[in-house]
Chain A
Amino acid sequence: MPESTTPYAAERGPVPTPGQTIGPFYHFALPYEGGEHLVAPGCPGAIRLHGFVTDGNGTGIQDSMLELWQADESGQVVQQPGSLTSDPGRFTGFGRTSTWRDGGYSFTTVVPGPTSQGAAPFIAMVVFARGLLNRLFTRVYLPDDAEALANDPFLSSLAEDRRSTLIATREADGVYRFDVRLQGDGETVFLQFPRHEV
């Protein structure tokens, strides 16, 4: 069971296998029906999280795959199978979608609760794309609890102009916008975890 993040186990194991690009031909293999709906659209508490994945020219990337992994509204981490089935009643906390031709994407999910006291809750996101030689990790924080965001140690460790790239903007009731900019103006903050090497 996960308890704490420190201290990390000593580096004693084998060297990790290199990651490689997802390439352009994953569409018939990885995305699955209903993958973008972590909950059924319109169900109580459902929100829409949408945006664009863009390159260094601000151009939408049509062959990018995003995955979400998050706690439920009460902060519980679901440990149940069924993510790959298209049962709209299930919430496993996992979602997967591929961008459209203009680089846009949209998920239906819920606002995650905090998994530990005082931590600003976030949705973990991993980004894959043709042209991107290894996956990138990021976090989607929702904007509503300004105090939790202001007190979050990780967000506070970032420069002001970079921090905002991790906070979704609220467009309407239950609609949030989060863009993934791989390069250039407003480049999204991507994460390097300990025990990872770029």
Chain B
Amino acid sequence: MSEVVIEEQEAPTRGNLESQHEITAEIEDLQRQDERSGVHRTQSRLDFAPYRSSILRHPTKALEHADPEGIELWSPVFGTRDVDPLEADLTIQRGGEPIGERIRITGRVLDGDGRPVRGQLVEIWQANAAGRYIHKRDQHPAPIDPHFTGVGRTLTGDDGSYSFLTIKPGPYPWGNHRNAWRPAHVHFSLFGREFTQRMITQMYFPGDPLFALDPIYQSVTDPKARERLVASYDHDLSEHEFLLGYRWDIVLTGEHATRMEQESDHA
């Protein structure tokens, strides 16, 4: 197609980058706007200019209301054929211990009615302890860890639970504005029982000093909703002389189909 031109690579040091101060002011403006209009968004705001890449990539027309039909009321099925149980351990993938703070991330995947999502696929990916991804377009001059890929997959248990053994990712710089740094995060990809519940998100670590500065985290303009992206440190999950434990439950949107309810579904 001739009218499609190839996008310029995002260079981390383009000229005329705004300062953090300007970006922060824009974030606060939009959040005040939402607060004043009484909109309590539970989701990220698609139109959020402080995240510069969103400017040309958010729909400008209202989403069209649709009742889910047919295929949308079902979800793909994943099983042991798709996922090796060892994929939940990101510390054993490359024949040696990755460098960094060893952690466990565990929690439950629930639907919008609080019921566990059983046997569904959870995929994660993350930077290494130095804030570097194994990705050819990641140009951050931090070391690659030959013992860490940063990719994990698992299937949820009967109670909707998942658990990953990994290392704590580092924060990393990006090209959004001058001296822009992403808070440490782990990307999560999730399926529910219906395709309408499909989602991808990011999990953060408690108390990160970069929260207030990050336009992606702050695109969830409601402070209470934002907190739902942050795991909690759980000392009962930490293991003696081995790792630190973080707990993070994920709630998908509600289902639309009428299903036989099971007593044990109510968690």
Q: A residues bordering B, Cβ < 8 Å?
A: 1-6, 8-9, 11-30, 52, 54-62, 67, 69-71, 77, 79-85, 92-94, 101-104, 112, 114-116, 119, 121-124, 126, 128-137, 139, 154, 157-158, 162, 182-184, 187-198
Contact = CB atoms under 8 A, between A and B. Distances in A.
B82 A29 contact: no
9 tightest A-B contacts by CB? A81-B79, A131-B53, A115-B70, A29-B125, A2-B257, A131-B57, A192-B63, A56-B56, A2-B73
A191 B187 CA distance: 24
A22 B135 contact: no
17 contacts: A5-B68, A11-B112, A13-B251, A15-B225, A16-B252, A18-B201, A20-B219, A24-B137, A62-B7, A81-B80, A119-B69, A133-B44, A133-B46, A190-B59, A192-B63, A193-B253, A194-B65
Contacts, number: 314
A131 B1 CA distance: 23
A28 B68 contact: no
B196 interface: yes
Given A135-B200, A137-B196, A183-B57, A191 B63 contact: yes
Contact of B251 (A17, A21, A52): A17
A22 B190 CA distance: 12
Contacts of B251: 13-17
A29 B78 CA distance: 17
Interface of B: 1, 3-7, 10, 41-46, 48, 51, 53-83, 110-115, 121, 123-125, 127, 133-135, 137-138, 149-151, 187, 189, 194-196, 198-202, 216, 219-220, 225-226, 228-229, 250-260
B190 to A, nearest CB: 9
Contacts of A92: 76-77
A4 B58 CA distance: 32
A88 to B, nearest CB: 15
A154 B44 contact: no
